[in-house]
Structure 1
Amino acid sequence: MRTGIPSPALPVDLSEARRVAVEAAEAAGALLRSRVDGPVDVRPKGTAGDVVTELDMAAESLILERLRASYPGHRIIAEESGVLDGAPGEEMVWLVDPLDGTNNVAIGMPVYAVGLALCARGEPVLGVVHDPVTGRTWSALNGGGAQGPGGAPLTLPERPRPGRERNPVLAWTQGHQVRPGDAAAFRLRSRVEAGCARMLQLWAPLVGWAMLARGDIDGFVGYLPEIVDLPAGALLAAEAGAELRRLDGAPYELGIDRPPAELSFVAARPELLDRLLETAAETAAGSAPAS
């Protein structure tokens, strides 16, 4: 994934936008944390097994109110509210996932996050990930590096944790559009899992991205991922030092208008990237019809 502040100059102060986004994410996190242990009204969302709760709606409403107060002309794409138009010709777009991990909350598993991203002309320039469970927040500016809690610089450790050079710990994500019988997803996931010590499927991709940025895991593979939560996490990991590629090894260009097939990714510590890409290539070759 190539990073670098887009040119010409942006019509916003990214430092101020980061402050607004961090405060909105943390306020939403406080709301979620205060209510997640009580009764949660869970309703089906779509036909692919996804769900939505009143917590999603309350957290999203809080975030939207804050973004509208600070940036009334910006467009917003929110997980539950959909596309909210801004001023005519507006190039700045916010992506809001108020509760990434709703299915986890629905079953009482405390693995979830809040994510916000700001995009300029379709490309992410700011990403914020907040973990309400621990109260920690991570953020990144395109070309400006990543920050951890308290604004401390965030970079991948130079070396993986002991024992993980040959047996990495990886994470997997797939979009809700991927059906249980998707043969390509099954082959790729199985091949990746066979080559690692453990593969996590967290149902909360933003948590996985933050883990990669911190060096808690060594790589992350995504098949047809969801676009709303993708930019914030991917930008965070890239600015911390992770390498991202498409499944075919091509450069990863994270534009919100790109087709879903171009959003599938391999992300990893630099020294692990080629190994994961080889696995993806072998999977694709194995699924090709014999000539």
Structure 2
Amino acid sequence: MTDQTSDRDRAAVAALAAAEGAAVAADSFRTDLTVEEKDGKTDVVTQVDRDAQETVIETIRTEFPDDPIVGEEEDALKEVPATGPAWIVDPIDGTNNYVNESRAFGTAVAAVVDGEPVGAATDCPALSDTYRVGPDGAYRNDESLSVSDRTDPEAATVCPTFWWDFDQRDQYAAATRAVVERFGDMRRYGCAQLELAMVAAGALEGTMTNLRANPWDTVAGVQLVREAGGVVTDLEGDRWRHDSTGLVASNGGIHDELLAAAREIDD
């Protein structure tokens, strides 16, 4: 455990680093980009992703030069250390949106100690929304966040999140069917950190997947949901961790129904 002062320091640096990385992304948004494929036609990267990650890392290193950093791009670590402090970085979550000139993208930075988040931020510059969370609570643009109070699934809006690849389209179809049969409406934004932030803000009642998600796509948003009064579990209904299989995040009021929907994906 860290003391409160240290937690506040890490939360503040997470917010600053996210803002610096988001500024790099914003500077090149809707410009002529060279787009490279990583593991598929929809898994893309640009030099801006790399530049934004470098900026985030430089900002963190100024205050915490010895902490390990887990990140999506290049040679950053890919696994969260089990003990001690670390940072988790997604320089542009929603790169596919970014290159297609959609505003649904953001820079996410989380500070963790012994694998547990102590502060995080997701900065969405094209939406003019900054989400941050720390010892003082969860906020969007300095206004306190709270999950929605809806408990009726038929009045709830849910987002199936993450990308089911072309050899998993049966699961993608099952996830969609489970949502539309159980809930009032469905959204999909293509930016997991934003989707989790929207659950925290009450704009969605829940988001879910059966997949094991990367920590840079999740940890900041999960902490936002929890601090805003929501619930985040794995497919077993146990408390979600960065190494869990499946992710079910909700306002709490529809969690059992959302968990049942997520479990249907693999049936």
Match of 1:49 among 38, 42, 51: 42
Equivalents in 2 of 1:192, 1:84: separation in Å?
34
- Kept in 2: contact 1:185–1:223 (CA 8 A): no
Return the offset for 1:90. Answer: 7.3
Return the offset for 1:165. Answer: 5.4
2:260 corresponds to 1:278: yes
Task: Give SS of 2:154's match.
Answer: coil
Q: Once superposed, which parts of structure 1, at least 4 consecutive aligned residues long, lie more than 6 Å away?
A: none
- Report 1:105-116 matches (<5 A): 105-116=98-109
Q: What is residue 64 of structure 1 aligned with on the other side?
A: 57
Equivalents in 2 of 1:246, 1:201: separation in Å?
20
Task: Give SS of 1:236's match.
Answer: helix
Q: What is residue 100 of structure 1 aligned with on the other side?
A: 93
Equivalents in 2 of 1:253, 1:181: separation in Å?
23
- Kept in 2: contact 1:116–1:229 (CA 8 A): no
Q: What is residue 251 of structure 1 aligned with on the other side?
A: 238
Residue identity over aligned pairs, in percent, reads 24
Equivalents in 1 of 2:156, 2:83: separation in Å?
43
- Which letter maps to 1:236? L
- Which letter maps to 1:104? N
Equivalents in 1 of 2:250, 2:240: separation in Å?
16
Equivalents in 2 of 1:12, 1:43: separation in Å?
42
Task: Give SS of 1:247's match.
Answer: coil
- Report 1:212-231 matches (<5 A): 212-224=199-211, 225-231=213-219
Q: What is residue 110 of structure 2 aligned with on the other side?
A: 117
CA distance 1:74–1:12, shift in 2 (3 Å) = farther
Equivalents in 2 of 1:282, 1:108: separation in Å?
34
Match of 1:19 among 12, 21, 35: 12
Match of 2:138 among 106, 122, 146: 146
Gaps spanning 5+ residues in structure 1: where? Answer: 1-6
**Aligned CA-pair RMSD:** 2.7
Larger radius of gyration: 1
Return the offset for 1:13. Answer: 1.1
- Report 1:138-177 matches (<5 A): 138-141=131-134, 144-150=136-142, 152-157=143-148, 159-160=149-150, 166-175=154-163
Equivalents in 1 of 2:178, 2:105: separation in Å?
27
Equivalents in 1 of 2:176, 2:23: separation in Å?
34
More displaced, 26-35 or 208-217? 26-35
Give the number of aligned pairs: 264
Return the offset for 1:182. Answer: 5.1
- Kept in 2: contact 1:96–1:115 (CA 8 A): yes
- Kept in 2: contact 1:74–1:90 (CA 8 A): no
* 1:213-237 CA-partner distances (Å, limit 9, x unpaired): 1101111112322221210011111
- Kept in 2: contact 1:95–1:229 (CA 8 A): no
| TM-score, length of structure 1 as denominator length | 0.81
Gaps spanning 5+ residues in structure 2: where? Answer: none
- Kept in 1: contact 2:103–2:127 (CA 8 A): no
Return the offset for 1:10. Answer: 5.0
